[in-house]
Amino acid sequence: MGTAYSKRGIYFTEDDVLIARRNIERLPRAQAAFERMKQRCESFLLLPDEFVYDSVLGMRDETFAYGISGCPGCGKAFPMEPEEQRRFISGLELHPVKTVTCPNCRTTFPNEQYPDDGQGFERNGKGYYPIGMWNFFHAGELLGGVRDHEGLVTKLTYMYMLTGDYRYAHKAIVLLDAFGAIIAGTIGPRDFTPFGSSFEIGRLHLLTSIVHRVKVFLAHDYSWLSDLAELDATSPALAKLGKQGSIRENIVSLLEEYMLTEPGGPEYDLRDGNLTNLQNHESDGVRAMLAVGLALGREDYCRWGVQAVEAYFYNAIGRDGMYYEGSYGYSLFTGTVFLDIAMLAMRASTEAQLVGFHPFACDRFYRFAVENPLRMMCQGHMPGYGDWGRDRSVGREPDGKLLTNIYRASQMFRQFSPSKELRAKAELVMRQLFPLIEEQLGGQGSDLFFSHPEGSAIETERFRLPAGNTLMADAGIVILRDRNDTTALLRFGPNQTHSHDDVLALHYYAYGQNITADLGYGIYGTNSHFGWASKSIAHNTVVVNRDERMVAQQIYKPFRGGRLTFLHESANVSAMEAQAPELYGIDVYQRMVGIVPIGRNASYAADFFAVFGAETADYAFHAFHSQSELRLAGTDRVADPAWTLAGVDEAEKGERQLYYDRPSCSYGERLTTGETFSEFMGDEKQHLWTPQVNNGYGYVYDLREHRTASGTFKATWRAQDGCELRLFGVGAAADRLFSGLCPSLDGDVRHPILVWRSRDARKTYGAVIQAASPDGEGEQAVLEVEQLEADQAQATAIAIRLSDGRTDYWVYSLSDGQVRVNTRHGEWMVDGRCAWMRIEPDGSIEAAELLQARQSVLAGVVLSTAAERAVAIVRAVDTANGTITVHTVRGSLPESGLIGIRSARTGRITVYEATRTSECELRLKESMTLSKGIVLRSDAEVLESRYPLPLAGDCAYAGAPSRFDGKTVQGAYGGRAVIRSVRALKLLEVDVIHPFAEREPFDIVDIEPGDEVRFMS
């Protein structure tokens, strides 16, 4: 045996190999992981080199495919997890046999009825690729793929690193040589293009940026193998194809293929250190550029990558540590990308560069990668808003995969951060999580090659789910949690890449599941994604004017974010209110949600949604991922107006019937496996197609109309497991209620949906929502909700009768002032906008909360706020230390609390958590620096940044209003300007106060002297 040696140590170094050997010696699970890896590699060593070459080279002129179209025989979906696929895809050892056997109908493909020459076949407008699926699976196993970036070639390299046994190195070289010979000319998996298309969308089995993810590990492998003399021999793979070249030349071409740009994906070009949008695709490109640069000694790649890191950490991560794209699932994935970028950039940096900026010393990055994923959990679940998979799990145990990723992120900070404070924080997280995730470790190289906490202290640290409210003010996310851990999430922040059109949608968690069942995301650009699941009507929110301005292929409306108006937390009520009138350009569009515990496990949510200035408002609601049924009480059926929700609108206009507005023809009924239509009508297409009126209403079908004489009703969704969701609605007799069905992503579940329509120009929807568990007999419950008379036109008041005889009262008003409400316990006066009270069966007051009010009076009992909330003016700003100096103009500064800072220039309000450090100084929890840049050019009206500023706006809607409008650009050399508008991600229209120098670094600052500070809590 020889000694493995890495000349660059681009990912795991010789020191890491020593750590791995110690881990294997002392940790049973590391020993077990090593033995599993060894067994798998030993089995592969038994295959002759000639056989391996023939198996890989045989893929050269054939397709690669995920198989998302499902089974061509029965139409059912194929499982997508590799362990499940292993059972129905023929093994590599059987090559040249390439078959796929449907686990549902047990039919084996290809066959006489469904022949495949390697290019797939078409049936009913859909492409099927059985041989492409075989190629996809085995290429992923051997080289690395979408589910596991560390393929067998990397595991063979690990074994060589750990043992020095040349046999492993040789077999890794065979795989790199074989795939290096066929990668050029391949065009990626075929599932995402029309059948027969030659559109380039990746390489081999790897879709767009997944090429880069796998390439990081291929570069790592090469760095450990590059000194072996075998690499300078003639390439057997090239020789078999009639080409010339050495193994080294072939592997280097593999690494340099599909670099710096991404054909088929978002447009960018990393040459000369250029960055386009900082999206996750481009981030993958940067980490591959760093890895290949280190492995091949490309100093230009390394230089460009190192320069990019600070831009990513300040321009793609907001001041609250939240990633800018509109999906938390993508944020978590991007965390793994950024961790790789950070480590690779650290490896590529000089000592002087690391003194100037060390990626693992960045507090903003730590919050993003470690702290926020813990704070964002909802009853142990990862939030599923935006483009991410359906959350169908049940239980309050923290998501194991999520905790494992957080542990690995902490591991890297503990190992690499120069900050003693961050290292200590990271180790504490590791100690808390280790007992929960120990069994899941061993699946990635870092589990072996990086160190783990030692000692009995591991057992003393306990991880607990987050309690209380979570606010991510910059991203515009609020998570409410009551004392039962009943949880609600609402998003009022900006729409961005990978967002859905779900501003102010309610995500409700109870009894360990996502009750409101966000439909999620599976495949980009499908009929389901573009036409249905991304639309507002598919979320539990209010749609204004039928979203008729949504044009073909538009996923969401441009929106720079709304405003949090209050956040309340107590033992009795957890509540929030947010406004987003700019979303639709109307007078009022705001939602207030309060969660109230009523028993040991039972809680309800009070929901008030105000919409002023709309012609039509549709309050949409559905529940449960499993099949369920919907029952309405307090309503009468009327004549059904149409088959689809879209048909209702056309009938009202007197238009001719839509071609899909009839049974079996609606979009929703035709969604099937692959998230596309089972048959295509008119000009419909399988990919990137939507109707011209792109509001999703044609997916809601089997419509039935109901009316309620009193304006109140009860809707009950009952799932197959017996769990219920009850919605008590308080509206007007003129409101229209529609019940119908809507599809899951691929139509396998038909969800009952309620659409509550109002034509009132000044509408406030009132609802009380309660989930009930299947075994909830004896739990407290809401029995009835009654609308009460209030003396203010903009006020809504309700009484909630509970099963134990208690009554809860709510008043909610859009205007601040006195509201008088007639209750059966007497007149209730509230001075303010929002209050809650609980009355015992004997008429006594059990509890009360002034959520946004100064005083509450009922039956002679007076409740008043203790003190006037402080108002101050900013006198000075210290961005380096995170403090502001203020002059108090009303009240006195509390020790800590939530503050709203109103810009003196624009009137827009941003929210911070603040702590008083002296009589006139506040320390802010979040950074006041919104983004950073370097001046590329500047004149009196324009500033062009070298780096993009995606937090400033959405690249899909260049020139739309930006939340950076009116903010100050502060240069490091004295340059200063005010942003008028964001014309593009790198181009700001500005009013220059003091000229900038060329290449002057700058910060975009959120707060400046003269701004007003108001304590919100």
pLDDT category of residue 865 using cuts at 50, 70 and 90: confident
Of 778 and 840, more confident: 840
Q: What is the pLDDT of residues 71-91, one digit of tens each?
A: 999 999 999 988 899 999 999
* Angstrom distance (rounded) from CA 941 to CA 991: 6
Give the model's pLDDT for residue 774: 86
Average pLDDT over residues 253-280: 94
Find the radius of gyration of the CA atoms of the chain: 30
What's the whole-number mean pLDDT along residues 807-830? 96
The predicted structure's pLDDT at residue 125: 87
Instruction: Tell me the average pLDDT across 879-891.
Output: 95
Read off the pLDDT of each residue in 575-582 and give the average, rounded to a whole number.
98
The amino acid present at 35, given as its one-letter code, is: E
pLDDT in tens, 670-704: 999 999 999 999 999 988 999 989 999 999 999 99
Distance CA 539, CA 518 (A): 7
> Is the pLDDT score of 769 beyond 60?
yes
Of residues 327, 328, 317, the one with CA closest to residue 278: 317
Q: Please give the average per-residue pLDDT across 633-643, as a whole number.
A: 93
Distance CA 263, CA 199 (A): 9
Considering Cα of 520, then 525, then 527, then 531, what sign does the dihedral take?
A: positive
C-alpha span between 462 and 255 (Å, rounded)? 44
- The pLDDT value given to residue 833: 96
pLDDT beyond 50 at 160: yes
Judged against a pLDDT cut of 60, whether residue 339 lies above it is answered with: yes
Judged against a pLDDT cut of 80, whether residue 169 lies above it is answered with yes
Give the pLDDT score at 187.
97
- Tokens encoding 542: 């209010």
Q: Considering the chain, what percentage of its residues have pLDDT values greater than 70?
A: 98
Q: What pLDDT is attached to residue 454? A: 81
Q: What is the mean pLDDT of residues 459-479?
A: 90
pLDDT number for residue 455: 66
Round to whole Å and give the CA distance between 313 and 927.
Answer: 13
Q: Which of 248-252, 301-305, 343-347, 395-399 has the lowest mean pLDDT?
A: 395-399
Residues 794-799: contacts with CB within 8 Å, 24+ apart? 794/762, 794/764, 795/819, 795/821, 796/608, 796/730, 796/764, 796/766, 797/821, 797/828, 798/606, 798/730, 798/766, 798/768, 799/823, 799/824
Environment class of 1 (CB within 10 Å of its CB; exposed 0-12, middle 13-18, buried 19+):
exposed
Name the phi and psi angles at 343, rounded to 5: -70, -45
- Which of 456-460, 632-636, 892-896 is the least confident region? 456-460
Give the mean pLDDT of 185-189. 96
Q: Is the pLDDT of residue 5 over 50?
A: no
Cα 589 from Cα 594, distance rounded (Å): 17
Which pLDDT band, with edges at 50, 70 and 90, does 656 fall under? Answer: confident
pLDDT at res. 540: 98
Judged against a pLDDT cut of 80, whether residue 778 lies above it is answered with: no
Phi-psi group of 675: left, alpha or beta (phi > 0 → left; psi -120 to 50 → alpha; rest → beta)? left
pLDDT on residue 460: 58
Are 169 and 160 contacting, i.e. CB atoms less than 8 angstroms apart?
yes
Residue range 126-153: mean pLDDT, rounded: 95
Say what the pLDDT of residue 433 is. Answer: 94
Best CA proximity match to 1015, nearest among 816, 886, 872:
872
**Residue 162 corresponds to which tokens in the numbers above?**
């750990």
Q: pLDDT exceeding 90 applies to what percent of the chain? A: 91
Report the candidate in 213, 203, 63 with the shortest Cα–Cα distance to residue 134: 63
| Mean pLDDT value across the chain | 94
Query: Is the preceding peptide bond at 96 cis, omega within 30 degrees of 0?
Result: yes
Residues 6+ apart with CB under 8 A from 177: 53, 235, 236, 237, 238, 247, 250, 251
| Residue in 199, 176, 172, 186 with CA at minimum distance from that of residue 136 | 186
What CA dihedral angle connects 127, 131, 137 and 143, to 10 degrees?
-110
pLDDT-derived band of residue 458, with 50, 70 and 90 as boundaries? low
Write the burial class of residue 663 (CB in 10 Å: 0-12 exposed, 13-18 middle, 19+ buried). Answer: exposed
Q: What is the spatial distance between Cα 154 and Cα 213, in angstroms, rounded to a whole number?
A: 13
- pLDDT higher than threshold 90 for residue 3: no
Structure token pair of residue 481: 């949690």
- Residue 1: pLDDT over 50: no
In this prediction, residue 457 carries a pLDDT of: 52
